[in-house]
Every structure is written in C-alpha cells, then in structure tokens.
Structure 1
Amino acid sequence: MKARAADRVATGVIIGMASLIMLVLVGLIAYLLFRGLSHISWHFLTSPPQSIKAGGGIGPQLFNSLYLLILTMLITIPLGIGAGIYMSQYAKANQLTAFIRLVVEVLSSFPSIVIGLFGLLVFVNLFHMKYSLAAGALALTVFNLPLMVRVTEQALNGVPREQKEAGLALGLSRWKTISSIMLPMAFPAILTGTILAAGRVFGEAAALLFTAGMTTPRLDFGNWNPLDSHSPLNPFRPAETLAVHIWKINSEGRAPDAPEIAAGASAVLIIVVLLFNFGARWLGRAIYRKFTATK
C-alpha cells in the first residue's frame, strides 16, 4: 500500500510539473501571437522598415533570415553528416575519439554570444570578412555543427547491427553499406535533426550581432548579381536578420509604431520556428513509415 501511494504521489508530481511547463509555454506563445498577429499583413512582410515614421515592415530582414539559413545549412549539413559518419563508423575507440567527443559536447554547451565573439575575432577581423552574411553563416555553422554531428552519429548507431552485417556479408564495401543501407535507415532521424537545427539558425540573434551586423544596405531585388553590393544575393554584405531586428527595435527603435513592429516580427518568428519544429516531426515520421513500410 505504501509503495502504491508513493507511486501515485510521484506520478501526480511529475504530471503536475509537466502540465506547469506546458502551461507556461502555451501561455507565452499565445501572448506573443495575440500581440502580433493583428499587425501581420502582406505589406508588413514585404516592405522595408522605417526609422522615424510609422508604417515600416520587415521585408529585408525576413529575406536576410531565410538567405542566411540557406547559406548556413549548405555548410553545416555536409560537414555535420560527414563528421557524424566518421565518428560512428570509422573512428576507433581510443583517446583521440574520446577527446573529439568531449570537444563536441563542450562546443554544444557554449552560449551563442561566445560563438558570436569567436566569429568576430576570427571571421570578421582575422579573415577580413567584415560584417557579412558569410561571416554569420560560418559562426552559425560552428554553433550548429555539434548538433548535426551528434544527431548523425546517434541515428547511424540506432540502425540495427544486422542491417550492416547483411550488407558486408553480401560483399559490399564499408562505404557502400553505409550509403546504400545505413544512411537510408537513419535518414528520418537525420532529417529531423537538420530541420530542428534550421529552426535554431532562424531564431538566433546573439551570434549574429557580432558577425552579420545590425544594418542592411539598400537592396535591389531586381539585381541578382551576387557580386553587387546592393544585390540581395551578395553573401559579403551586412545583413540584419529578423531576430536581430526585433532586438534592435525594442532597444533603440525610434519609429512611433516600434512596439507594434516588434510584436508583429516576434509573431512571425514564432510561427516560422513552430513550423520548423512541427514540420520536422511530421516529415520524420512520414519518411520513417515509408522506409519501414509501417502504418
């Protein structure tokens, strides 16, 4: 009887704590959406911001965030998946491998502001990249690389050992076994981790304050020359992202409708991050069902 009562008390405490966390999270999201949804319109999403008068939007900042996301993932995905494959299938269990895993764990726990300072010292100053999308993408690669490495390694380690042994028994090379058997099995988990990493990139601000900058030059969206300073595709121009814009509006915005702009931009950011998270879970489950022929 005492054990049963203790079990009920423990279960109730756990459910209560989980419910409290969910209530706080739902309340925070609902508050931000309630304040910001009424300010979202097509004009708001496409027009440039105004510094001293009302009516500005978040068009360039939204484009910068999406473009920076693409640049970052183009660097992060091959590096992260390649390192994860090496750590899972090729690295031997020795002190060097243990040290690499320790470095990955330590790097994953670094605050993003520290990654931003690293990017400022190395990419902006040492390599003379100045404040640019490229410097921001490299800094965010450092920020997200540990996540991609761990996700890939764990996904490959989760593939049944019999699958790998069957490929090797058929005479396939190690790489052919990995690419043809193990990676397709691990792909849903890798894809889920990739989309979650993309959500982190889209919502990041601290690391970009020191690398991508807090200003955006006048952009000509009819100019698709990536070498032109006014082209939106130029990766070496400064770029204020949506998350940085929210911080800037709240801290030093002079427009009379600055609170409304910040609320609308926050709602857009929340919606996109939620789409990343829910999309990752839905797509991961759908691909897993397809690969495993389960319903």
Structure 2
Amino acid sequence: MASTSSTTSKAASVKAGGLGVDLDEHAARIGRQDRVATGILTVIVAFVLFLLAAIVAFILIQGLGKAFAPGFLTTPPTDPDNPGISSELFDSFYMLVITLLISVPISLGAAIFLVEYAPDNWVTKAASTAIETLSSLPSIVVGMFGSLFFVVTLGWGISILAGAMALTMFNIPILVRVIQQALEDVPRSQRDAGLAMGLTRWETTLHVLLPAAMPAIVTGVVISAGRVFGEAAALIFTSGSAAVNINFASVNLSSPRNPWNIFRPAETLAVHIWKLKMEPSPGNDVIVWGTAAVLLICVLLFNVLARFLGKALAKKMTSE
C-alpha cells in the first residue's frame, strides 16, 4: 500500500524532460497567466466599447430631438424662422457621389496594375511607398493644395468640383490600399486556374479575381465613403462654407442656386458644424448638435451598409 501511494505521488510530480519542472504546478501557473491576460484584455475591450458608446450616446442625446424636429431636414439654413440643413445634407451626398465616381475607377485601375501587372522593381516599390504616405497625409494639407491648384491655378474657384477633387486626392490612396489588399487575398490557385483554362491575364482579372475580391472591395468603398462624408478640413479651403439656399426648381445650370451646378460654393454637414461653432450666436448650439446627430447617423448607416453588402456579396459568391 505504501509503495502504491509513493508511486502515485511520484507520478503526480513527474519532471518534464528531466528539467525539474512539476507539470501540475506548470499547468496551474499557465492557467493563472491565461486568466490574468484574458481579464486584462476584457477590461481593455470593455473600456473601448464604453468610450464609443458614450460618445455616440452623448451626441444622440444632445441632438436627436433637433435632428428629427419638423422641418430641420427639409428647410434651408437661411430660413429665419426655422433654419435647417437641407442644403448641407444635399451638398454632402452630392459631393460624395462625385468623389466616388472619380476616385473608385482610378483606384481600381491603379490597384489592379500594382497587383497584377507592375514588375517587382524599385519603381513599383516607390509607388507603393508613395501611396502609403499619401494615405496618411493630413486632410488639411490636401485642402491647402486643393485651394492652390484647383481653386486658384485652374480657376475653378470655391466650388463643389474643387471640393470633390480634394476629397478624391484624399480618398484615392486609401481605396488603392483597400482594393490592393482585396486582390492579394484571392488565392493564387484561382489565378492559375483561369490562366490554365486559356484566359488572358486581363480576362482572368476581370472574370476571376474581381468577382472573388468584390465583397472586400465593396466593403472598403462604402467605409471610405463614410470617412469622406464626414470630412471637413479639406473642404474649408476648396468648396467653402457658404450657406446656399438651393432652388431645386432652377433649370439654369450656371446659377449659384442650382443644385447640380458643380461650380457653385457648397457647405457640407461637417463644415456647417465647424462654421456654427466659429460663429457663436443664440440658438447655434442646438443646430450644431442636431447636425452632429444627423452626420453621426449617416456615418453609422454607411458602416452598417458596408457590413451588409460585404456579407451579401460573400454569400452570393460562395453559393455560386
């Protein structure tokens, strides 16, 4: 009996690999370390989520009442009785559409070239480095360049087109990196299969790579749209901060009140918030918080839309 007890005791304290490590004690220590690490990471994640929730909740509590007040979304900011944000809301979406129409094709072409056609040399590496540098460039610097080049040199003046081009410069490097990563994530076997079937490199890119990468590309484009939608610094110097009372019945495309005139000044939601805070007057704070709530809701909807489209496209691609 004593021999059996001794054997059990020895088995419970087996030394690992002759290194004098008690396996039970080692397992207990690893378990404690794992619990401590898990607890720390949980606290960090909880703090981040709490911070984001607090910011969103504070803005919505302050501005949601004004955001859905009668006429706030449909009246112009120049209305003396009930100033709203109809012009700013339209200009924000209008400028976003123009920006995406310009930046998405350019970014898509640049990303395809860098991934599929560019030789592996110093020129390609320099181009990739330049794109990464531009993607981290402060937006106010982009706005200053846009003011000098588009507004002054090209003579476009403070206009929607100048603002859209500034946003395009701001958006292209981000989109190129997103699309580049999406194309690189497509398995090499799919490329080889397309080429083995007799497809040219361009046909393989068009009919194999792009469909496979489309969920990630669409998600990246929609998320970048949300970022562009909330941009302000680049637009202060290019599209301006003039509150224009848009006349949707106007048919004169050269009129500064015509909504489709790309050479008229425009004020987006983000710029409107900045201007009202720089020009304090009675009642401005209520409008600022209402505008901030509308802007936040739009950005949140962009993110929800990105996730929905990404999942829907991925499901469609896998089912096919």
Q: State the match for 1:92 in structure 2.
A: 119
| Pair 225,289 (structure 1): closer, same or farther in 2 beyond 3 Å | farther
Q: What amino acid is aligned across from residue 152 of structure 2 in structure 1? A: N
Q: State the match for 2:207 in structure 1.
A: 180
Matches of 1:93 and 1:70, distance apart in 2: 35
**Following TM superposition, by how much is the alpha carbon of 1:54 offset from its aligned partner in structure 2, in angstroms?**
5.1
Matches of 1:132 and 1:108, distance apart in 2: 24
Q: State the match for 1:55 in structure 2.
A: 82
Secondary structure of the 1:57 match is: coil
User: CA offsets per residue over residues 102-160 of structure 1, 9 Å max, x none?
Assistant: 11111111111111111111111111111111011111111111111011111111111
1:11-50 map, 5 Å:
11-39=38-66, 40-50=68-78
**Following TM superposition, by how much is the alpha carbon of 1:15 offset from its aligned partner in structure 2, in angstroms?**
1.4
Is residue 54–residue 257 contact of structure 1 (8 Å, CA) maintained in 2?
no
Matches of 1:59 and 1:273, distance apart in 2: 17
Q: State the match for 2:312 in structure 1.
A: 286
Matches of 1:47 and 1:177, distance apart in 2: 51
Larger Rg: 2
Matches of 1:179 and 1:49, distance apart in 2: 46
Counterpart of 1:233 (choices 257, 260, 284) is 260
Moved more, 125-134 or 272-281: 125-134
Matches of 1:81 and 1:286, distance apart in 2: 21
Q: State the match for 2:191 in structure 1.
A: 164
- Structure number with higher relative contact order (C-alpha < 8 Å, ≥ 6 residues apart): 1
Q: What amino acid is aligned across from residue 110 of structure 2 in structure 1? A: A
> What TM-score comes out, normalization by structure 1 length?
0.95
**Following TM superposition, by how much is the alpha carbon of 1:202 offset from its aligned partner in structure 2, in angstroms?**
0.8
Matches of 1:140 and 1:105, distance apart in 2: 17
Q: State the match for 2:13 in structure 1.
A: none
Matches of 1:279 and 1:226, distance apart in 2: 33
**Following TM superposition, by how much is the alpha carbon of 1:229 offset from its aligned partner in structure 2, in angstroms?**
2.8
Q: What amino acid is aligned across from residue 236 of structure 1 in structure 2? A: F
Matches of 1:204 and 1:239, distance apart in 2: 13
| Pair 244,174 (structure 1): closer, same or farther in 2 beyond 3 Å | same
Q: What amino acid is aligned across from residue 58 of structure 1 in structure 2? A: I
Structure 2: gaps of 5 or more residues: 1-27
Moved more, 147-156 or 266-275: 147-156
Q: State the match for 1:110 in structure 2.
A: 137
- Aligned Cα root-mean-square deviation (Å): 1.4
Matches of 2:81 and 2:277, distance apart in 1: 15
How many residues are treated as equivalent by the alignment? 292
| Pair 224,187 (structure 1): closer, same or farther in 2 beyond 3 Å | farther
**Following TM superposition, by how much is the alpha carbon of 1:237 offset from its aligned partner in structure 2, in angstroms?**
0.7
1:47-86 map, 5 Å:
47-50=75-78, 53=80, 55-86=82-113
> What TM-score comes out, normalization by structure 2 length?
0.88
Is residue 92–residue 268 contact of structure 2 (8 Å, CA) maintained in 1?
yes
User: CA offsets per residue over residues 15-58 of structure 1, 9 Å max, x none?
Assistant: 1111101100001000100111111235100101148x552100
Matches of 1:279 and 1:42, distance apart in 2: 27
**Following TM superposition, by how much is the alpha carbon of 1:164 offset from its aligned partner in structure 2, in angstroms?**
1.0
Q: State the match for 1:101 in structure 2.
A: 128
Secondary structure of the 2:73 match is: helix
Query: Identity of aligned pairs, percent?
Result: 47
Matches of 2:70 and 2:314, distance apart in 1: 36
Matches of 2:253 and 2:210, distance apart in 1: 34
Secondary structure of the 2:72 match is: helix
| Pair 54,10 (structure 1): closer, same or farther in 2 beyond 3 Å | farther
Match status 1:260 vs 2:289: no
Matches of 1:78 and 1:261, distance apart in 2: 37
Secondary structure of the 2:83 match is: coil
Structure 1: gaps of 5 or more residues: none
